[in-house]
Structure 1
C-alpha cells in the first residue's frame, strides 16, 4: 500500500459528527488476543452546552487522504471522563462487550467443570452465551478435553488461559469471537492482513516524517531449546515425561491427565520459547495495514541482525494535531 502524506481519521457511530469536529487526539491498541482492542479519544468540550450522552458503538477509520481510509472495526463505549481544565472529555471504548449493564455476565467470575468433551465444544458454548458468533480453527476444534476446571475466572479469562496451553489466542472481533493459533486470527475473522514491508530512508532523522526507530531485545540468559511436560499414567502408577525439542529443557510444573494433553502443552511451550528468543520494538509512520497477528518484513535497508519477517504482537496507533499519525509495534519471531 502506497501511503499518502496527509493523515486522516474518521469516527463513525454514536455522536460521530460531534466527535469528528472536536477530536484532539486518539489512540488505538490492536493486541494479539491477550486483551481486547481498545480505542481512546480526547474531545474538546469547551463550546458544548451540557454533556451529550456518549453511549453505544463507535467505529474507527484511519489512513491518509491520498490513499484512503481503512476500517479498524467497531468498539463499545465503556467509559467517559470529563475534566474541567483544560475542558476535555476522554472516551474509552473496547472491542469486547464491557458494558455497565452486563446482561450476559461477561465480567462475572464463576467456577465450572467440563469434560469429557472437545475444546471446540467448550469454546462455542461460552462464546455463544455472550452473543458472539464463535470461530475456532479446525486443529483446535478437535482437541479432546478429558477434564477441565474453570476456577473463579471470567469466561474470557478462562478461554484465554486454556488457549495459552496450545500457544493460541482468543480475540473478540466485532460480533465474532475467535480462537486460533497465532497468525490465523485474521483469516478466521474474514480479514486478510498483507505482509507490510518497512524500509529505513537514507539519512533517517527524527525530524523527518518518515523517521523509523527500533530496539532489539535478545534474551541473554541461558536459552531453552525445548521443554518437558509430565502426565500421570494410572495403569502403571507412575509419572511419565514428554520431551519436546532439545536440551536444555524448560520443565512445565503442571501435570497433565494424559499423554496427548502433555504433548500439546509441550508443543505450545516450544513455540512460545522460540518466539521469545528475540523481540523488537519499532516506532514508524502510521500505516493502517499494520495489525496484531500480521507480519512485517524488514528489508535490506535495515541492519543485517534485524532483517527478515517478524510476527506482530501489538500495534499502538496514535494521532493528533501535534504528533500526526504514528505506530508503535511490538513483534517477535514468527513460528510455523
Structure 2
C-alpha cells in the first residue's frame, strides 16, 4: 500500500517500522483496510506531498526467512495451512486448492516467496492481513470460504477508458503429461482447437497438466482487454474485487476484475480510480475441453 498525503504544513514523519491502522471513507462511513507498517518514505515540495509506502504488518521476519524443505504428496491447500501455522497465522484457504495435488516440490526460498511462486503457477492470490493468511483464486470474485462477492455496480462514472485486442492470438493452450500405466504421452487442451499454444514442458499427471494449461490460458485471456474507470469515492473497491459496468457501451458493459485501485481524498472530493481486466477464470471454464491422445 502507498499513502500520499498533502505535506503543507510539513507533517511529522512516522518512525521506522511504525505500525498504524488504515481506514478510508467519507464522514462516519469508514471501511477498515487493515494494519500496516512503514517501509519507505519520500517527499517533495512541488507539489507538497509526503509519500509513505507500507507493508502488511504480518509479513514479518519468519515469513521472509530462508527455508529449505521438500514437500511430497500434499495438496496446495495443505501447504498453505502448514505455512500459516508455523508463522502463527490463521488460514483461510479456498476449498478448490485442497484438490490441487503436489507430488513433489522443493522449497529453497522463504515461505512468502514459496507461496507466491506456487500462486503464480496455480493462479492463486496470496494475502497476509489482520493475522490471517488467505489464498483465493485470481479473478474468481470469491472469498476464501467459497462464497461469492457481489459485484459492485459502477454508478456515476466520471471517466472511463477501454482497450483490447480484437483478434485472439491463441484459441487454446495444450499441456502434455506422461501416462505411466499406458507408457505414452497424453495431453490436455484448454480452450479450442485452432491457434494453440503448446507448453514446452511435460507434467507428471493429467491434473498437473490441466492446471498448467488453465493458468496460461487465463493469463492470455486477461491480457486481451483492459478497462479503467473513475467514480465518486467507494472504499469497498479493492484489488481482485469484481465490478459491473452498465450502460457504458456495447463491448464494455459486463463484469470486470479490479487489478489495482487508487483512492484520492482531499478537502473537496473523494474519487476512486480502478484498472480492470476481464474475468479469465470464467472464460476458461466456459471453453475448457480435455483431449487425450
TM-score, normalised relative to structure 1: 0.71
Q: Does 1:42 align with 2:5?
A: yes
Structure 1 position 136, deviation (Å):
0.9
Query: CA offsets, 1:35-82, max 9 Å, x none?
Result: xxx14243749678x9774544211221122x7222222212223457
Match of 2:20 in 1: 58
Q: Is the helix fraction higher in 1 or 2? A: 2
| Structure 2 CA distance for partners of 1:177 and 1:327, relative to 1, 3 Å | same
- Partner Cα separation in structure 2 for residue 191 and residue 69 of structure 1: 23
Query: CA offsets, 1:225-255, max 9 Å, x none?
Result: 2111112334555433221221221222232
- Helix, strand or coil for the counterpart of 1:199? coil
Where does 1:240-251 land on structure 2 (aligned, <5 Å)? 240-247=186-193, 248-251=195-198
| Structure 2 CA distance for partners of 1:317 and 1:269, relative to 1, 3 Å | same
| Structure 2 CA distance for partners of 1:225 and 1:45, relative to 1, 3 Å | same
Match of 2:133 in 1: 177
- Partner Cα separation in structure 1 for residue 199 and residue 113 of structure 2: 21
- Partner Cα separation in structure 1 for residue 55 and residue 113 of structure 2: 16
Partners of 2:6 and 2:50 within 8 A in 1: yes
| Structure 2 CA distance for partners of 1:316 and 1:88, relative to 1, 3 Å | closer
- Helix, strand or coil for the counterpart of 2:20? strand
Where does 1:9-158 land on structure 2 (aligned, <5 Å)? 38-42=1-5, 44=7, 53=15, 55-65=17-27, 68-81=29-42, 90-95=51-56, 97-98=58-59, 102=61, 104=62, 106-151=63-108, 153-158=109-114
Query: CA offsets, 1:290-321, max 9 Å, x none?
Result: 12222211111x12221112121221223334
Structure 1 position 132, deviation (Å):
1.9
Structure 1 position 147, deviation (Å):
0.8
Q: Does 1:168 align with 2:115?
A: no
Partners of 2:40 and 2:54 within 8 A in 1: yes
Match of 1:308 in 2: 254
| Structure 2 CA distance for partners of 1:287 and 1:89, relative to 1, 3 Å | closer
| Structure 2 CA distance for partners of 1:221 and 1:87, relative to 1, 3 Å | closer
Q: How many residues align?
A: 280
Query: CA offsets, 1:183-234, max 9 Å, x none?
Result: 567622799854222235xxxxxxxxxx622221212554322111112334
Instruction: Structure 2 unaligned segments of length 5 or more: list them.
Output: 283-293
Match of 1:266 in 2: 213
Partners of 1:314 and 1:331 within 8 A in 2: yes
- Partner Cα separation in structure 2 for residue 114 and residue 227 of structure 1: 28
- Helix, strand or coil for the counterpart of 1:77? strand
Match of 1:329 among 260, 274, 282: 274
Structure 1 position 125, deviation (Å):
1.9
- Partner Cα separation in structure 2 for residue 290 and residue 83 of structure 1: 28
Instruction: Structure 1 unaligned segments of length 5 or more: list them.
Output: 1-37, 201-210
Query: CA offsets, 1:166-196, max 9 Å, x none?
Result: 2221112321111121356762279985422
- Helix, strand or coil for the counterpart of 1:304? coil
Partners of 2:136 and 2:142 within 8 A in 1: no
Where does 1:247-258 land on structure 2 (aligned, <5 Å)? 247=193, 248-258=195-205
